Structure 1
Amino acid sequence: MHIRTLTLRDFRSWPNLSLDLRPGVTVLVGRNGHGKTNIIEAVGYLAHLGSHRVSTDGPLVRSGAADARVSAVAVNGGRELAAHLLIKPRGGNLAQLNRTRLESPRGLLGVVKTVLFAPEDIALVRGEPSERRRYLDEVLATRYPRIAGVRADYDKVLKQRNALLRSASGALRRGYESQDGAAALTTLDVWDGQLASLGGQLTAARTALVAELSEHVTTAYGIIAPESRPPHLNYRSSVTTAPVDCGDPEVLEAAMLTDLAHNRTREIERGMSLIGPHRDDLELMLGDEPARGFASHGETWSYALALRLGVFSLFREDGTDPILILDDVFAELDAARREALTQIAMTAEQVFITAAVDGDLPVNLDTSDARIHRVSMVTDDSGRYSVLSEQEDTGHEGGVGS
């Protein structure tokens, strides 16, 4: 898979951008804060309907603009699809595929498949469980767009259930002895049923994904850090009555209902939902120890890389070579990890690489056929915005800086 054209309007620092692209390596070089990462963020947003940098859409719309637009023509196996996304700072976004208006932006999932590695990915290893849940759910949404709908519905039910636990805590404590307590408990039963049904589906999908990913991550980690302890992935569910690694949605639903019943008093006292996939974690092990807290700095970076490269291998196994995006990562890696990552990257059909300066690029990066774009920031009467210099086709006479 590759992107043939990318067009931006009022996205972040770009009032307008039109890029003609091709398979192979595209390098974006520019100082930090000048807008190079904004370009690959737009590509990633088309793929995942979310940013790897912010959790809301407001910052994606250029200051003073009513909305932003991201468009790309993706080529997969000789078939071209034009994806268009209108991003609003508030309210629902609008999407179009070729000339067809979609009912939901989720209809674009799978049109563009990317695997992005950025410095923020160190949080996959060192950060909170929410980082790792998001990692799994992004992969699931790309492979199985239906699961994105399940996750969205689960979040809505969870929000409603939490609101009930907070707003009706007094009535819930009084229980069936009072009319308002009985009504509140009946409503809670309804939310429990919906939460368990959706939660069972989401947990089953995550568990199956972890089982598939584990081998790919182990292989990638062995290439990047062959001298280190072997990694292993475990999905740790908050539903304790389900069999370990259970992949049956109906069994998980029944187990979740059981756990919700056992924990009802505690949830009413705390005013929040304590059982469900929103409380789960992806446990990252190195040898017999958890990577979080026990991995060295180099091992942490290697694990974060392996998690992304594992997804790359999984997508490739599915039959689609995803677009690989490396955002300012080489400056964070030692020489050995740079070389290992570059060897893997050069096998991808299309690679986007960003760097602050040419010197951040690894010496073994083959840019003989690369297109190199210089990104800079200008200020005039209309404000401050990013611009792109003319592309540099390196031809076959050497790489960057040769």
Structure 2
Amino acid sequence: MYLRHLQVGHFRSWESADLALTPGPTVLVGRNGQGKTNLVEAVGYLATLGSHRVSADAPLVRHGASQAVVRAALRRDDRELLVEVEINPGRANRVRVNRAPLPRPRELLGLVRTVLFAPEDLALVRGDPAERRRFLDDLLVSRTPRLAGVRSDYDRVLKQRNALLKTAKLARGNALATLDVWDGHLTELGGQLLAARLQLVADLAPYVAESYAGVAGPGADRAALGYSSSVPLAGDGAPVDPARVLPGAEELAAALRERVAERRKDEVDRGVTLVGPHRDDLVLHLGPAPAKGYASHGESWSFALAVKLACFALLRADGDDPILVLDDVFAELDSGRRAALAEVARSAEQTLITAAVAEDVPAVLLGTRVQIADGQARILPGEPTEESAATGEAGVDGG
């Protein structure tokens, strides 16, 4: 899988940009503030319908514009697809594939697959549980797009149930009867989400251990993953046991129902849902201790990098190379970590890299370079792109 062409309109700092892309590594070079990260952020939006930098859509739209557009030509095997997203803050976004509108934007999920590594990924190790839950669920949806509906429905039910809990203490009778109905929805959807997360953690854990060993080098502590849940059956945070038979969705839903019943009084008193996947955490272990709070700065970088390399390996094992996006990370890495990352990046079908200076990027990845400056994206002389070879042009400018 790779992007052959990327266009954006009124996205972040870009009034417009139009860039031809090729398989292999492409490095976007430019001083900070020139918009290079904005372009790879647009690629990520096609994959997740969200940004790795902000939680809302409004900051993605250029100041003074009412909407932003991201459009890309995607090659998968011998097919080419044109995908387009209109970002409309405060209104429904619109998605088209081959110019045909999709009924729901989330139907785009899974069509474009990316693995992004950025400085913000240190939050996977050092940040709050919400960061790691989001990471798990985004990866889940990338592997199994139908789970986007489960995730969305669970969030909707949780919101409704929390609203009801805020009034239940005063209303009592009728509110509590209605709460039973929402409990059923919450536990059914929660069981499905829990089962999918547990399987994902089990699938990802060996790749994380292998990637961390490669990044950190001989003598490093072993990296492992665990899952900590408000439902004891789902996990207590201990490292994954490969011999453990994972509980299924129905079994987890039953355990979730039992736990919800146990915490009913506390939930009514506090006016919030205390049990469910939204309270859980992915636990990163380094040797005998959790990485959060114990890992050094270098170890935290190594773990964050290992997790993303593991994601790439897992998606590749599923049968389709994702697009690897490396946003301004090489300047943060020492020579060993650079080499480990470069080895994977050069093997990917397509890698998009941003850097303030080209010298930060290992030489093996300097195939195609794009200069980002003064509101333009210009392919620098060097290896011809797929389109420039056919047209005789050096590249396509952006405004």
Distance 1:267 1:241 in 2: 20
| Stretch of structure 1 that moved more, 353-362 or 118-127 | 353-362
**Partner residue in 2 for 1:398:** none
Contact kept, 8 Å, 1:241 with 1:259, in 2: the verdict is no
Give the one of 179, 193, 196 matched to 1:188. Answer: 179
Cα RMSD of the aligned pairs, angstroms, is 1.3
Contact kept, 8 Å, 1:28 with 1:373, in 2: the verdict is yes
CA-to-aligned-CA distance 1:181-230 (integer Å, 9 cap, x gap): 22111111011110000000001000000000001111111111123101
**Partner residue in 2 for 1:215:** 206
Q: How does 1:57-72 map to 2 (within 5 A)?
A: 57-72=57-72
- TM-score calculated relative to the size of structure 2: 0.91
Q: How does 1:261-300 map to 2 (within 5 A)?
A: 261-300=261-300
| Stretch of structure 1 that moved more, 219-228 or 309-318 | 219-228
Distance 2:79 2:314 in 1: 21
Query: Would you say how many aligned residue pairs link Structure 1 and Structure 2?
Result: 375
**Partner residue in 1 for 2:239:** none
Q: Structure 1 residues 319 and 357, CA, compared in 2 at 3 Å: closer, same or farther?
A: same
Could you tell me which amino acid in structure 2 is paired with residue 82 of structure 1? L
Give the one of 217, 232, 236 matched to 2:228. Answer: 236
Contact kept, 8 Å, 2:227 with 2:235, in 1: the verdict is no
**Partner residue in 2 for 1:360:** 360
1:206 paired with 2:203, answer no
Contact kept, 8 Å, 1:284 with 1:292, in 2: the verdict is yes
Contact kept, 8 Å, 2:228 with 2:235, in 1: the verdict is no
Q: How does 1:92-241 map to 2 (within 5 A)?
A: 92-171=92-171, 181-227=172-218, 228-241=220-233
Give, in angstroms, the shift of residue 390 of structure 1.
4.2
**Partner residue in 2 for 1:393:** 382
CA-to-aligned-CA distance 1:228-271 (integer Å, 9 cap, x gap): 10111011111125577743110111111100000001111111
Q: How does 1:75-90 map to 2 (within 5 A)?
A: 75-90=75-90
Give, in angstroms, the shift of residue 366 of structure 1.
3.8
Tell me the secondary structure at the aligned position of residue 292 of structure 1.
coil
Could you tell me which amino acid in structure 2 is paired with residue 231 of structure 1? A
Tell me the secondary structure at the aligned position of residue 54 of structure 2.
coil
Tell me the secondary structure at the aligned position of residue 283 of structure 2.
strand
Distance 1:47 1:41 in 2: 10
Tell me the secondary structure at the aligned position of residue 70 of structure 2.
strand
Contact kept, 8 Å, 1:14 with 1:35, in 2: the verdict is yes
* Consecutive aligned runs of 4 or more in structure 1 exceeding 6 Å deviation: none
Q: Structure 1 residues 230 and 102, CA, compared in 2 at 3 Å: closer, same or farther?
A: same
Could you tell me which amino acid in structure 2 is paired with residue 375 of structure 1? I
Distance 2:149 2:365 in 1: 41
Could you tell me which amino acid in structure 1 is paired with residue 49 of structure 2? L
**Partner residue in 1 for 2:13:** 13
Give, in angstroms, the shift of residue 168 of structure 1.
2.9
Give, in angstroms, the shift of residue 391 of structure 1.
3.1
- TM-score calculated relative to the size of structure 1: 0.91
Could you tell me which amino acid in structure 1 is paired with residue 344 of structure 2? I
Tell me the secondary structure at the aligned position of residue 365 of structure 1.
helix
Distance 2:153 2:185 in 1: 9
Give, in angstroms, the shift of residue 394 of structure 1.
4.6
5+ residue gaps in structure 1? 172-180, 378-385, 396-402
Tell me the secondary structure at the aligned position of residue 321 of structure 1.
coil
**Partner residue in 2 for 1:374:** 371
**Partner residue in 2 for 1:381:** none
**Partner residue in 2 for 1:176:** none
Distance 2:22 2:330 in 1: 23
CA-to-aligned-CA distance 1:30-89 (integer Å, 9 cap, x gap): 111110000000000001111000000000011111101101111111211111110012
Distance 1:66 1:50 in 2: 18
CA-to-aligned-CA distance 1:318-342 (integer Å, 9 cap, x gap): 1101111100001111111111111
CA-to-aligned-CA distance 1:104-161 (integer Å, 9 cap, x gap): 1111112111100000000000000111111110111111111111111100110111
**Partner residue in 1 for 2:31:** 31
Tell me the secondary structure at the aligned position of residue 149 of structure 1.
helix
**Partner residue in 1 for 2:302:** 302
CA-to-aligned-CA distance 1:264-321 (integer Å, 9 cap, x gap): 0111111111100000000000111000011111110010011111110011101101
Could you tell me which amino acid in structure 1 is paired with residue 161 of structure 2? R
Could you tell me which amino acid in structure 1 is paired with residue 316 of structure 2? R
Distance 2:187 2:350 in 1: 41
Distance 1:361 1:99 in 2: 37
Q: Structure 1 residues 242 and 23, CA, compared in 2 at 3 Å: closer, same or farther?
A: closer
Contact kept, 8 Å, 1:27 with 1:352, in 2: the verdict is yes
